[in-house]
Structure 1
Amino acid sequence: MNPMRLHRIVVVISLCGLVISSCGKSEKISDDANLKPKYGGTLVYTKNSPPVTLDPALTTETESTIPCDNIFDPLVQLQLGKTGIAPALAKTWDISKDGLVYTFHLRTGVTFHDGTPFTAKAVLFSFNRQRDPKHPFHQGGDKFEYWKNFSMNEMIKDIKAVNDSTVQFTLSSANATFLYILSMQFTAIVSPDGMKKYGTQFYAHPIGTGAFHFVSWQSDDNLILAANTEYWDGRPYLDTLIFKAVNKSEERVSRLLSGEYDMIESPTPEKISEIENNKNLKVFKQPGVNIAYMAMNMNKKPFSDERVRKAIVYAVNREKLVEQVYGEFGRPAKNPIPPMLLGYNEEIRFTPYDPEKAKQLLAEAGFPDGFKTKLWYMPIAREYMPDGKRTAELIEADLKAVGIEAEISTYPWHEYLEKLYRGEHEMAIMGWIADIPDPDNFFYPLLDKTVAEIVPSNNIAFYKGEDMHQLLLQGKLATDLVARSKIYRDACAVFNRDLPWFTIAHSVVIVPMQSYVMNFQPYASYARKFNTVWLNR
């Protein structure tokens, strides 16, 4: 590690929701510790879709958040490879005994990429533009989706600058996840001067304090970032970081094999052995903090009928689906949270594959001959979903066997998301990657009734269960680890009683790269930061 790189004081939160021991071992890359890191070079990182925005407050998907992770910094961040909270733009903080007041002591001498100073005023600007509809840079009623889906206005009672290097947050009630939420990209600090200069075009001209600064962006292809040589945590090793977007997995793999790309995401399972057998490549693997699922829109009939939803779950052969789509890189899902999270309910049994039971439930619901519906599938591969179309075809065939005719279709990715969040679908395949390693990060945005009443909504089942809502409120307030665990185990049981989704799988995170890419260190979330990466060539 760069000797100039600032030593981080790591704070491990006792409320942490990640239980690593339950998920098996990661197959991490063993780089030679005797090699001395080198400065310089360009790394090309390839995903399956371009970013939608480079304004952190507007991000909703990993294609946007990963570049923003490298351009911007939040007040705090997840600890690399672990589950604690570490300092970022805040070097220390104090929490009142009642858990309501958080006082953050900010780093001094930090500048934005435009040369302007980072101060408490920038923190207030970044939060208030989302919090206050009258703020001159508030983007409108439906823009700040994460802010709304995490009920931030209800959570935060007040924010004030005590002085240039101190910010104080007062909460409406104690919240076990508040520090974790502040590590998320939508809370990152933006340059007030940059926002004033570019206005609504800031999304294409981002200015933060991160390890890399923006150079250029061709929206359908290259996003180019350059090293921030004045970065508060030490200059990154790379000179240049390029993000490319290639929709087809086969093409991403082919260009990785040819040496054109340095790192890729979402290879199809059948290509992984070819990558692993190539002496010029190496593969990072770890159990993903994720889930893939098929949501049934409960705002539309017949999915408001619990018997219909249960019939669909009985009708689909989950084990066959996971075997054919994921191979050895996925495990069938029975809870709405992955196995390594606090509150995962081991006692829940899988709803068995039982077509006759499905037919019986359909008849009881008034559909003895089945019904017609539409099933949307994801047009691109994701960490949790290697092949949306194949998944939809397998579900379609199983549903047809019990009399349900599901017409499968899709849309371009960004249009797909917009339509889902607005509830235009009947059934749809989707998934979630942890923003933070806590069960609340899955349950609340995806399954709470408060979120279902906000459009656009991450709760694409539009599930409004009162029992679930009450448990999730308790989970936010609980400060005892044992109590929180029981709350979320109970929430898993309520989910399996009501079945707003057909749960599909939890996948393995797979990141293939050239053998010369060194010190890649992922987080227990979707985050990908490249300030520690260097090239041994």
Structure 2
Amino acid sequence: MSIARPKAVRTLAAMAAIGVIATGCSSDRDNGGDSGGSGSTGTFVFGAAGDPASLDPSLASDGETFRVTRQVFETLIDHKSGTSELEGGLAETWESNDAGTEWTFNLRDGVTFHDGSDLTGEVVCANFDRWYNWSGTYQNTTLSYYWQTIFGGFANNENDETPEANYVGCTAPDELTAVIEVAQPSANYPGGFSLAAFGIHSGPALEAYAEDDASGEGDAITFPGYSQEAGTVAGTGAFKVDGWNKGNGEVSLSRFDDYWGESAGVDKLVFQTIPEESARRQALQSGDIHGYDLVAPADVKTLSDAGFQVPTRDVFNIFYLGITQDSDPALENLDVRTAIAHALDRQNLVDTQLPEGGVVATQFMPDTVAGYSDNVTTYDYDPELAQQLLADAGEENLTLTFCYPTEVTRPYMPSPADLYEVMRADLEAVGITVQPKALKWNPDYTEVTRDGGCNLYLLGWTGDFNDGYNFLGTWFANYQKEWGFENEELFDLLERASTEPDVDARVALYEEANEFVMDFLPGVPISSSPPSIAFSADVNPPTVSPLTQEVFAEASFK
């Protein structure tokens, strides 16, 4: 499929380029004989590590939500299956003006939403204008994280901390064209248009959404009702939502027979929440589910030897120890942060806790992203040096709160509690007293860390699209409470990188930024690792994605 590249920034586009299981599962599997197409049958059950937060992806920022909604909603730009290469989604082609401030999307003809309405340029604009005009609770980053990250603030910002809006507007010159204008060019485009958060909703659905508001603030946000039950949301994906049994942790989807592309290979798709990895493994082994994600490293060989399919994704993530500098005066001292880095035996952690193929990270992006530098300052395991640095800083009796999440498994963090214990032992070995703070992942942990409520914490990132700014800019482009520092030199460097249209110059700026960050040491990059996903022997699984963006319409039964 040909893709129209931006006129002046076409190089950028190229670069960016178990609760109760569903009844009848076993018999459905026996009946599934097709490899795909509208004649295939069966219910495919996938074990998810957590519940989705919402059926409206624009209100989410977590992978478990997007795993579900990506099957229901489609974006203007997509990724070629199994890669980080951009290709047409709802827009067959796209291009930008020379300045990179006007993006024209040429939409597919004949695309129908689940409610029977048609995809048009006006509908696309209505989606973007809805996000831009959000007010009240919707301006909280819990609900609009990705909008604020990619497009800035809103038509009327209600909080001084909300960024200035970069979105200007959207026009539809004809039925199958949408033109989106932004104030400033950014490394977030065109990749940002591929994010699941910007899946396109139908016009009738948008009208229904307007009658149902989110409410609350801080840790007490209530999602709008339409996003918490089936019946209102309508996308264009290969599956439509049938139901969400929240008490049972089960989301049910069914094949959309009027889908514009190739029909899904199964009749029904069920996402069943099973929080513990061991329980997901047992459910797969017993035949209750057909697949699950985030396989524990120790289970990969066991499953493979037993005949299960356990493909491994390419590395496209970073796991790190975050440091909130303004949470304790000691952490504003570079010597103390350096001591923490030298105290951690990261090679031991990679060897004992992460899947085969994991590597110690030297910077805040994997080496699969252009902009990775071979010239960063590195911090080898050296507990004696760590103790000396703490003594020089007058912090021999340092006590730090160390937060880690529970009830979660992430692609970069297979067992948070175990990873925490390894790092706690390393820190205490050099004289740092560690006070543990375990928090449930959603919403407690993400909110507390984002608000700067921990001295140290564990987090990571799987890239949304292949551009260095999606890593470095995510954390270090401006002041963020979770890092707790002001460094205008770094902020300015990343601003220049973000707006640099020449790809070679931009990559050079990313390299410079990586080197700057690792001298400043706002946190400690720990590792990059290839997460595994498992499937039963009797299925044709979807192509695994380095972005963890599997398309389950590709799945079928053998």
What is the CA distance between 1:15 and its match in structure 2? 2.4
Show the counterpart of 1:402. Answer: 430
Show the counterpart of 1:14. Answer: 11
1:78-97 correspondence runs (5 A): 78-97=79-98
1:113-512 correspondence runs (5 A): 113-133=114-134, 139-142=138-141, 143-153=143-153, 154-198=165-209, 199=212, 200-204=224-228, 205=230, 206-220=233-247, 221-279=249-307, 281-301=308-328, 302-367=330-395, 369-379=396-406, 380-414=408-442, 415-450=444-479, 452=480, 460-512=482-534
Amino acid at match of 2:12: L
Distance in 2, matches of 1:411 and 1:180, equals 32
* Local SS of the residue matching 2:411: coil
* Local SS of the residue matching 1:509: coil
Unaligned runs of 5+ in 1: 1-7, 21-34, 454-459
1:116-143 deviation digits (Å, cap 9, x = unpaired):
2222222122112221246xx9824442
Q: Which deviates more from structure 2 when the two are superposed, residues 469-478 or residues 242-251? A: 469-478
Q: Which deviates more from structure 2 when the two are superposed, residues 198-207 or residues 176-185? A: 198-207
- Aligned CA distance change for structure 1 residues 375 and 138 (closer, same or farther; 3 Å): closer
Distance in 2, matches of 1:310 and 1:322, equals 20
What is the CA distance between 1:36 and its match in structure 2? 5.4
* Identical aligned residues as a percent: 25
* Local SS of the residue matching 1:45: strand
Amino acid at match of 2:190: L
Show the counterpart of 1:4. Answer: none
Show the counterpart of 1:514. Answer: 536
* Local SS of the residue matching 1:442: helix
Distance in 1, matches of 2:100 and 2:144, equals 26
* Local SS of the residue matching 1:285: coil
Confirm or deny that 1:529 pairs with 2:551.
yes
Distance in 1, matches of 2:523 and 2:446, equals 17
Distance in 2, matches of 1:202 and 1:319, equals 47
What is the CA distance between 1:518 and its match in structure 2? 1.4
Q: Which deviates more from structure 2 when the two are superposed, residues 43-52 or residues 88-97? A: 88-97
Q: How many residues align?
A: 504
1:268-308 deviation digits (Å, cap 9, x = unpaired):
111111011012x1111132200111101122112222221
1:503-522 deviation digits (Å, cap 9, x = unpaired):
11101121111122215113
Report the TM-score, using the length of structure 2 for normalisation.
Answer: 0.86
Aligned-CA RMSD value: 2.2
Distance in 2, matches of 1:532 and 1:315, equals 46
Show the counterpart of 2:29. Answer: none
Distance in 2, matches of 1:176 and 1:267, equals 33
1:382-413 deviation digits (Å, cap 9, x = unpaired):
11111111111111111112211111231111
Distance in 1, matches of 2:128 and 2:548, equals 22
Distance in 2, matches of 1:462 and 1:115, equals 48
